[in-house]
Structure 1
Amino acid sequence: MAHEPHNGGSPGEMGVRSEPVAPSSADSRPPSFRPRRLYAALDLGTNNCRLLVAKPEGASFRVVDAFSRIVRLGEGLAQTGRLSEAAMDRAVEALKVCRSKLRDRQVARARLIATEACRAAENGAEFIERVKVETGLALEIVDRGTEAQLAAQGCVPLADPNARGVLLFDIGGGSSELVWLLPRGSGKAGGPPTADIKGWISLPVGVVTLAERHGGQRVTAESFGRMVDEVAGMIDAFPHRAAILAQLDHLHMLGTSGTVTTLAGVHLGLPKYDRRRVDGAWLKAGEVDLILGQLLAMSYEERIAHPCIGAERADLVLAGCAILEGMRRHFPCQRLRVADRGLREGILVGLMRADGVWRRPYYRPHEGDRR
């Protein structure tokens, strides 16, 4: 999978279909002779709104446009049970940018999902209707199982093929998923490898909710420990713990979240965040311990000033680290691979695989393929 970011696009009126779009009846050419269509995946979470637009390429795809904005849709949700007007306004404005990109790129197939904040909020359905009215976008609220499956599919290309399995974690704003998976080949459908999920657990906690409960700006060793204890207690009920521990020496962790990419950026000493160096980076257990110690020793102001953290994550990063530590307390793997990818990539793979784009002879060159 290659990324080719492109900025631009302004809000405009349009509607985007999130269901499969059938080929035009006027186009009688077989799939191998049609221009490659563009696909899109949108993930509206508790903290972020993210969009990818991509086209099939080789056995994967190339990202031709991307958008990400921190909107904090779930801000205050744990206290009130509702999405606030200010948070919904921020999310709608970000979604208008996404709508413009979908329109300008003439996307043929898209899946637009909303996760924990909209699942949990009393007014989640009302917000989804508001989005449809104001932007024309039809968001789909997915359950936690679907969220885990999509994250696994998006990240499985980074699994070590020599490992006997992988513990994938996705630390979100309002929920976090831990997935035990085995990477498999792509099979007859072609494309990226697939994920055979052996077991998973979804924790009703994310960086936003945990930071709101325990404080995110002034974090002491004691308050950090309380956060770790809370998360670790949630994993006690994971029924696959014993089976995983029995082969822990042959597994590695694979993390997707702003938390783990921040850890990698700090470890690498990057003067600014660089996805090309972070995505796929390996961290040893001792290196993770060292980075966590560095972050705990920083003041809130120092975290703001750090080029790989910044003001938008300074009050959330330690809550994310506590979630990771709660997982590592149960499953102390010696290796952790970092993924700057996840749900959206999993959506794109699903859409393209359903269309059969990796089945031969789809990629036979033709004159019309000029995207």
Structure 2
Amino acid sequence: MADYSPPPRGRNGQKVNGRAGAAARDRAADPSPNRPGGPGRPEPAWKQAQRGAPFQRQAFAAIDLGTNNCRLLIARPQAENFVVVDAFSRVVRLGEGLAQTGRLSEAAMDRALTALQICADKLKRRNVHLARSVATEACRRAANGAEFIARVREETGILLDIISAKEEARLAVMGCHLLLESGQGPAMVFDIGGGSTELVLVETRPDDVPLIHDWQSVPWGVVSLTESCEHEPDDPVGRAVRYERMKELVRDSLAPFAERALDWLERAAPDEPLRLLGTSGTVTTLASLHLELPQYDRSAVDGLIVQSEAMRALCESLSRMTPAERRAQPCIGRERSDLVVAGCAILEAILDLWPAQKLGVADRGIREGILRGLMASGDAAERARATLREMKRQAS
């Protein structure tokens, strides 16, 4: 679905809001012959060229506005995959304070809008053919989530779609399943977000997208879990107690799903080990620490397979550190230092319930899932047009 339309602008190029903006949108929707692109006026040459561009040269885009991050990916098809032509990521903390107030704060919305305006500018510069923009847990939960979505459309032209937790889980699997550890049988894909964590139990199939057997979303992400627990204590004992409380909250929320999963695993695949694949800032940060990287390197982390006990040891170590000690760690820094402990607690709770020997790490997820869906649709449409052209050629 195309979900970007530039906001109305006046003669001086400034954005038009309020009644003037509404009038401008009405004019844009007017099918009269006098409007640009109507019967009396052809579309601009650049738009015609873009629409007629070969499929492999068209740019597709995906925006994922989460509780903590705003991310953009622009790519072009390349054989069975795609090549990235532009990307953007910024920590916006849209869900900051949501656990206490139930609303998105003005400061958080302003941070997100600033990031989304950068995304909108990139979409225009790259002449994106087709885009999809989604918002997740923060906008799902906030009482003013719909108002914020309307404001984003008014000020940036980006049409955000607040997707369900189920759709979020499906897109995450679509985006990262290629990195599952080789083998047959069941696998668990999980995405530790800012406001929620999604887990998807899948059956792998040769040369195909895994079949989703069951899934669960719990309202614990790195932001929501951090804010729902008391302020981080200064003493080691207090930090340990808080960390155990975090793990307990997550385990209790996941317990019903764990029982369903165990029942199915015992019946369907009693002799097959469960494979785990995690996609999130938590697992990629821990993987960076495991590799002792001086700075984050996606090529080293994406697709890495790590012993689960090594990840547990890192989690325990980080949970005992002071905030200053965590900030000093490479690949963590100030932006993640206060949230990484909650991510560690979520990961350990998952490993408690599903004690796999190894853990796969993916630096890809929802955006890649969106792009694959858009490109599949675009490729199918291109093939249909080619078939129609060939039929017309043969008939002439």
TM-score (norm 2): 0.79
Aligned residues with identical type, % of pairs: 50
Corresponding residue number in structure 1 for 2:5: none
For residues 1-371 of structure 1, the aligned pairs below 5 Å read 36-185=57-206, 193-215=208-230, 217-218=232-233, 220-238=239-257, 239-244=260-265, 247=270, 249-356=272-379
Matches of 2:48 and 2:305, distance apart in 1: 49
Which stretch has the larger CA shift, 129-138 or 247-256? 247-256
Deviation at 1:125, TM superposition (A): 0.3
Other structure's SS at 2:296 match:
coil
Matches of 1:114 and 1:75, distance apart in 2: 15
Maintained 8 Å contact 2:56/2:78: no
Q: Deviations over 1:136-166 (max 9, x none)?
A: 1110000000000000000111012313121
Higher Rg of the two aligned structures: 2
Maintained 8 Å contact 2:184/2:204: no
Deviation at 1:25, TM superposition (A): 11
Which stretch has the larger CA shift, 114-123 or 174-183? 174-183
Deviation at 1:12, TM superposition (A): 8.7
1:163 to 1:208, Cα distance in 2 relative to 1, 3 A: same
RCO comparison, higher one (Cα < 8 Å, 6+): 1
Deviation at 1:101, TM superposition (A): 0.3
1:89 to 1:167, Cα distance in 2 relative to 1, 3 A: same
Paired AA for residue 224 in structure 1: Y
Deviation at 1:185, TM superposition (A): 4.8
Paired AA for residue 225 in structure 1: E
Deviation at 1:68, TM superposition (A): 0.3
Matches of 1:275 and 1:25, distance apart in 2: 35
1:233 to 1:360, Cα distance in 2 relative to 1, 3 A: same
Aligned length: 337
1:301 to 1:37, Cα distance in 2 relative to 1, 3 A: same
Matches of 1:203 and 1:254, distance apart in 2: 17
Structure 1 residue runs of 5 or longer lacking an equivalent are 1-10, 16-23, 187-192, 363-371
Deviation at 1:289, TM superposition (A): 2.0
- Larger relative helix fraction: 2
Corresponding residue number in structure 2 for 1:366: none
Which stretch has the larger CA shift, 106-115 or 237-246? 237-246
Q: Deviations over 1:159-216 (max 9, x none)?
A: 1231312111100111100101123355xxxxxx412111100111111010012247
1:348 to 1:248, Cα distance in 2 relative to 1, 3 A: farther
Paired AA for residue 145 in structure 1: K
Corresponding residue number in structure 1 for 2:389: none
Matches of 2:128 and 2:52, distance apart in 1: 20
Paired AA for residue 345 in structure 1: E
Paired AA for residue 202 in structure 1: S
Deviation at 1:356, TM superposition (A): 2.1
Matches of 2:348 and 2:58, distance apart in 1: 42
Other structure's SS at 1:201 match:
strand
Matches of 1:248 and 1:202, distance apart in 2: 27
